[in-house]
Amino acid sequence: MNPQTQSAMPSYTLNCRMAHEAAALERLCQVVRIRGFRIARMNMESVGGKLDIALTLEGSRPIGMLQSQLEKLHTVAEVVLDGGVLQSRSA
Amino acid sequence: MNGAQHILEAFHRHSIDTVFGYPGGCIMPLYDALVDDVGVEHVLCRHEQACALAADGYARASGKLGVCIATSGPGATNLITGVANAHRDSIPMLVITGQVPAGLIGTDAFQETDVLGMSLGIVKHSYLVDNADEIPAILEEAIELAQSGRPGPVWIDIPKDILLTDIAAGAPELIQPQAPQTVDIRDAMTLLRAARKPLLYSGGGVSLAHAEDAFRDFARTSGLPAVATLKGLGNAGKHNPTDMGMLGMHGSRAANRAVDECDLLLVIGARLDDRATGRLDGFAPNAQMIHVDADAAEINKLRPADIALRGDLNAILAAFTAELADAPLAIKEWQTQCRTWHTTSGFHAADNEEPLAPITGPAFIRQLSRIAPDDTVIACDVGQHQMWVAQYYRFDSPRHHLTSGGLGTMGFGLPAAIGAQFTDRNATVINVTGDGSFMMNAQELATIRRYNLPIKLIVLDNQCLGMVRQQQELFYDNRESQINLDDNPDFVAMARAFDIPALRIERTDQIRRGIETILAYNGPMLLHVAIAREENVWPIVKPGASNRDMIDEPRRTTAKKEQVA
């Protein structure tokens, strides 16, 4: 994938709350990757046995598809899409 | 009570009486506990992959939870294919592996692998237990999770020292399944009543939801022409006059045409898999779609639904049936059209094969379908024979057809048949396999012999990897590459080496006697069926093409009709 292709991708921010279990982050990242998105930025905070994760993602597939796949994860309590598409830069 | 004993205690609480496994170093505490347990039958397979696939077959045939057990390292990695198989087909499965002692994790200890890490993409959920007191609650959660909603495999990896640790915690409360929510079907009914050419499209979700009866009631009451995915075969029952069989890549021209021309597709428990839909932009181009599924993530995944109903299939189908009971659909013309298509371009192998002609896959499977009892369980492998079974065997229930749909796992059939036989030791269970698939898990003949399982093995032997050869012929300019298996062992002698009687047939006039002989035999028996190498599965849709562009069988040449000398 060349940089121009990457920058043309729509970008989204997902806020995810999940249980702080072993491999929780790996599980989240695995789903993001296999469902066709790239993590551009990730911020994680541990709050009382939970993880609050803010993900900035790039990908050409519908973000709703990823959201519903993440919501299926047993350890995920909530996935919120921040304001829809944030940006769609041209090459 | 230590961790290992708690596992057996959970099995008892959940009426789990059969498990498939293979012992080894780090799982020894559980095997030690098994010595004193009389309530759980442990089936010792000869390879961990077969343990997982047998547990899968057990779950498919019974509708219950399949359980498999293995040790750390290679035991766990050998399970991977079987667990992935269960994941792709949403089979409820509990996987338990021993792990190296907690203090050794991450030190590259003997037989250590990162099982939790490896499992992530192939399970519904997985756990690495790091505290013995968590075992009861994790087991309870895992067993419920594997079977609820859209089922799937759940994997618990337990370090050896934790299996040996005494646990203070008592048994947790049973997790009660959630009551199904009411789903409003009024908009869907409006759409259904407005349609002139509605088509029922069902998949594996029907049996996964234990909704076979509700589906059949609905199919009968609605009179909707019905097509099925590979995993949905049998949903409509063997004698349903509106059933058109399988659609898709190797579906019938009739079924694909009905999808092409329908104006409403009612999708029940199916995920619009590419093997079923072909190229998506050419799939059901004139139809609106109502999508009914237990899994919200399947709705709108590949094609937007005009109406989506997410929830318990039993409740939704019952609501549909109730609405139609007093006011049937006015679709007589469409029903007649579909019946005509099914008669003229459904799967109907020729009856009058030359008696001395070589056996063809379709002719054999059609006779098998006629002769075998209605409740026979057919466990297939993967390849041409799998498609011939799907095309020509008439199933009365989806639980009678065990097939690796999503992952397409060669070697699935024999261990799956073993699993199915353990759900009912008196059931007729047949493994229909090919010569390539058979050799992938042939070591399980020893398991059949050990437990004296009366499984019938039918090896359709074309001395090559037929499905690959077929696609090389059709789509790669006939450039055959690494498909030749003409150095296969003598399958009859091989079966006999496991003390399983066997016979070989090669002519059309031997089919009936061959089938009747193995079915009549009181014990396991193998039928080696020699078929022509160049036989193809027809029709076929080129991968990536539209179902509308399916390719029919070219006219047979006289060479193919040559009699066996």
Residues B309 and B366 in one domain: no
> In terms of domains, do B278 and B416 share one?
no
Q: Residue B430: what are its φ and ψ, rounded to 5°?
A: -125, 130
Q: Which residues of B touch A (CB under 8 A)?
A: 116-117, 120-121, 124-128, 130, 145, 295-297, 299-301
Cross-chain residue pair B296–A23, CB shorter than 8 Å = no
Question: Is the per-residue pLDDT at B394 higher than 70?
Answer: yes
B37: confidence class by pLDDT, cuts 50, 70, 90: confident
> How many residues make up chain A in this entry?
91
Taking contacts as CB-CB distances below 8 angstroms, the residues of chain A near B162 are: none
Pick from B119, B125, B156, B291 the residue to mutate for testing the A interface (most A CBs within 10 Å). Answer: B125
Helix (H) or strand (E) holding B288: strand B288-293
- Identify the residue among A18, A27, A34 best suited for mutation to test binding to B, counting B beta carbons within 10 A and taking the highest: A27
Domain region containing B239: 186-345
In this structure, the answer to whether residues B108 and B224 fall within a common structural domain is no
**Whole-number Cα distances in Å, B282 to B191, B198, B408, B550:** 22, 18, 24, 12
Q: Are both B314 and B407 inside the same structural domain?
A: no
Q: Does the residue B352 lie in any domain?
A: no
Mean pLDDT of A35-43: 97
The beta-carbon neighbor of A74 closest among B145, B296, B297 is B145
Q: What is the pLDDT of residue B562?
A: 43
Partner residue opposite A22 with nearest CB, options B128, B297, B299? B128
Give the residue from chain A lying closest to B294, CA to CA.
A72
- B176 domain residue, yes or no: no
Residue A51: per-residue pLDDT: 97
B405 pLDDT higher than 70: yes
Pick the more confident residue, B238 or B524: B524
Instruction: Determine contact, residues B250/B186, Cβ cutoff 8 Å.
Output: no
The domain segmentation of chain A, as residue ranges, is: 11-83
A71 to chain B, any CB pair closer than 8 A? The answer is yes
Count of domains observed in chain B: 3
Q: Which residues of B touch A67 (CB under 8 A)?
A: none
Q: Kindly state the greatest CA–CA separation across chain B.
A: 76
Quick one: pLDDT at residue B560?
45
C-alpha to C-alpha distance for B62 and B422, rounded to whole angstroms:
9
Residues B150 and B249 in one domain: no
Let me know if domain A11-83 sits in CATH 3.30.70.260. Answer: yes
ipTM: 0.91
Question: Are the C-beta atoms of residues B234 and B396 closer than 8 Å to each other?
Answer: yes
Describe the crossing of helices B313-325 and B186-194 by its angle, rounded to 10 degrees: 50
- Residue B564: pLDDT band (50, 70, 90) is very low
- Quote the tokens at residue B200: 């029922």
The whole-number pLDDT of residue A7 equals 59
- pLDDT at position B181 is 72
Q: Give the pLDDT band (50/70/90) at residue B349.
A: low
Q: Quickly state the pLDDT bin for B382 (edges 50, 70, 90).
A: very high
Q: Does residue B401 lie within any of the structural domains?
A: yes
C-beta neighbour count of B407 within 10 angstroms = 17
pLDDT at B174: 74
Does B538 fall in a domain? Answer: yes
Query: CB distance A27–B120 less than 8 Å?
Result: yes
Q: Would residue B351 count as lying in a domain?
A: no
Contact B301 A65 (CB under 8 A): yes
| Residue A33 touches chain B, beta carbons under 8 Å | no
Spatial separation of the C-alpha atoms in residues B268 and B466, rounded to whole Å:
32
Please write the tens of the pLDDT for every residue from B504-526: 999 999 999 999 999 999 999 99
pLDDT band of residue B354 (cuts 50, 70, 90) is confident
State the pLDDT confidence band at B561, using cuts at 50, 70 and 90: very low
Q: Quote the distance between the C-alpha of residue B513 and its chain's center.
A: 28
Q: pLDDT for B438-491, tens place per residue?
A: 999 999 999 999 999 999 999 999 999 999 999 999 999 999 999 999 999 999
| DSSP letter (8 states) at residue B324 | H
* Mean pLDDT, residues B250-272: 97
Q: Are residues B336 and B365 in the same domain?
A: no
Radius of gyration of chain A (CA): 13
Are B332 and B424 members of one domain?
no
- Among all residues of B, which ones are annotated catalytic? 48, 110-111, 160, 467
Interchain CB contact of A19 with B (< 8 Å): no
Give the CATH number for residue B46.
3.40.50.970
Within 10 A of B246 (CB to CB), how many other CB atoms are there? 22
pLDDT at B279 > cutoff 90:
yes
For B301, the closest chain A residue by CA position comes to: A65
pLDDT above 80: residue A3:
no
Residue partners of B307: CB distance under 8 A and separation at least 6: B187, B188, B191, B289, B290, B291
Query: Distance between CA B312 and CA B343 in Å, rounded?
Result: 34
Task: State the best of A25, A74, A75 to mutate against chain B, taking most chain B CBs within 10 Å.
Answer: A74
Provide the pLDDT confidence category of residue B348 given band limits of 50, 70 and 90: confident
Nearest to B297 among A26, A34, A68 (CB): A68
Q: What is the rounded average pLDDT of the residues B366-378?
A: 96
CATH number of the domain at B231, please: 3.40.50.1220
| Residue type present at position B27 | I
Q: Are residues B386 and B251 in the same domain?
A: no
**Residue B183 — very low, low, confident or very high, per pLDDT cuts 50/70/90?**
confident
Same domain, B233 and B319: yes
B235 in the same domain as B143: no
Whether residue B125 and residue A75 make contact (CB cut-off 8 A), yes or no, is yes
Query: Which pLDDT band, with edges at 50, 70 and 90, does B556 fall under?
Result: low
- Tell whether A27 lies on the interface with B, counting CB pairs under 8 A: yes
Average pLDDT of chain B?
95
Question: Smallest Cβ distance to A34: which of B116, B121, B296?
Answer: B121
Nearest chain A CA: its distance from B126 CA (Å):
9
